[in-house]
Amino acid sequence: MFAFLLKRILHAIPVLLIVATITFFLIRAAPGGPFSENKIMPPEAIASINKHYGLDKPLYEQYFSYMWGLLKGDLGPSFQYPNRTVAGMIADAFPVSFELGIMAMVFAIFIGIVLGVTASTKPNSMRDYVCMFFAMIGICIPPFVLGPIIIWVFAIKFEWFNVSGWGTFHDAVLPVITLGAIYAANVARLGRAGMLEVLSQDYIRTARAKGVPEYKVILKHSIRGGLMGVVSYISPAIAGVITGSFVVESIFQIPGLGRLFVLAAFNRDYTMIMGTVLFFSVMILIFNTISDVIQILINPKRSFTEG
């Protein structure tokens, strides 16, 4: 297992280098710089700021000095917020995104499994269609449609929740639903498919034949095998849910990483864009590795020695 992890870490290094290089040159190729949009400052001041941050040097020199900083673990200062470092701002924003993502995932797993298992107990019945209809809604209504609509219904019409904000559990309900819906839908579909497969097995027929009550057949005999697919879906989905919350954070004005990144992209905050992109890449790599480890541990057909 340690050899496996070591191999993963060694594989991650070139990936991160590629990400850093692509992002660096893409963002530098964009028109406008972090200070060029600011019309209030006289050109001399802009020039001196650019000089201060080394933005007047040739591009390749900036690239190497940034990469050198990166090797030392230094993500640089933020251009938009002069007295903050990128690392510091990410450290502030990450817990928010993490919390939101974990809650959304718990919501998604719970709702998804309930819908999927319920649907599978009576395939092609009304119950099945209703459950799968909800799953289809989750897949076809993207967060930027679902978000505004549930705000309109639950925050504006019924006034049960605040329109936006972050802090209490109450504030988290609508964003968690918005973010979790699509994952709940996928969990439901995977759960239904897995359960249907298990329920058609011979040992389930045997269990039924010897008179085990139906709820026990479902909860005791089939659920563990039926939800294998869900388990292997969950950990890559966690990476997606934590890193993919741009829209939800923008809609609900949540001070998380996604919003930080979108604002940075608008403001051409070079170091902040680089920092968040790299941070997200690291998160994706970590969760992918965790997901592989979990799958190897629960699936006897796979082992740590494979590629």
Partner 1 sequence: MLGFELDMFKIKEKLENMQMELEEPGNSLWKATLHKLCMNRFAVFGIFVLLFLVLFSIFGPYMVAFNYYQQNLSLGASEPSLTHFFGTDQLGRDLLVRMMYGGRVSLAVGICATLVSLTIGVIYGALSGYFGGRVDSVMMRFVDVMYALPFTMLVIVLMVWLGRNFILIFVAIGAIEWLTMARIVRNEVYCIKKKEYIEAARAIGLPGWKILYRHIIPNLLGIVIVYVTLTIPRVMMIEAFLSFLGLGIQPPMSSWGLLIKDGAQVMEEYPWMLFFPSLVFSLTLFSLNFLGDGLRDALDPRSKE
Enumerate binding residues for partner 1 (CB under 8 A).
12, 14-15, 18-19, 22-23, 26-27, 29-31, 136, 139-142, 144-145, 147-149, 151-152, 156, 243-244, 246-247, 250-251, 261-262, 265-266, 268, 273, 276-277, 280-281, 284-285, 288
H-type alpha helices, 166-227: 169-199, 202-209, 214-216, 223-226
CB of 228 to partner 1, least distance (A): 21
CB of 142 to partner 1, least distance (A): 5
> DSSP letters along 265-300, please?
HHHT-HHHHHHHHHHHHHHHHHHHHHHHHHHHHH-T
Closer residue to partner 1 in complex, CB, 118/281? 281
Closer residue to partner 1 in complex, CB, 47/141? 141
CB of 52 to partner 1, least distance (A): 23
CB of 133 to partner 1, least distance (A): 10
Q: Spell out the residues 6+ positions from residue 229 whose beta carbon is closer than 8 angstroms to its own.
A: 190, 191, 193, 194
The helix, strand and coil proportions of the chain, stated in percent and rounded to the nearest 5, come to 75, 0, 25
| Separation of alpha carbons 244 and 258, rounded Å | 7
CB of 159 to partner 1, least distance (A): 12
Torsion sign, CA atoms 32, 37, 43, 49: negative
**What is the three-class DSSP state of 182?**
helix
CB of 241 to partner 1, least distance (A): 13
Residue type, 272: M
Closer residue to partner 1 in complex, CB, 159/202? 159
**What is the three-class DSSP state of 85?**
strand
Residue type, 114: V
CB of 55 to partner 1, least distance (A): 17
Closer residue to partner 1 in complex, CB, 151/217? 151
Closer residue to partner 1 in complex, CB, 109/284? 284
Closer residue to partner 1 in complex, CB, 221/261? 261
Cβ distance 174 to 254 under 8 Å?
no
The distance in angstroms from the start CA to the end CA of the chain is 12
Closer residue to partner 1 in complex, CB, 12/212? 12
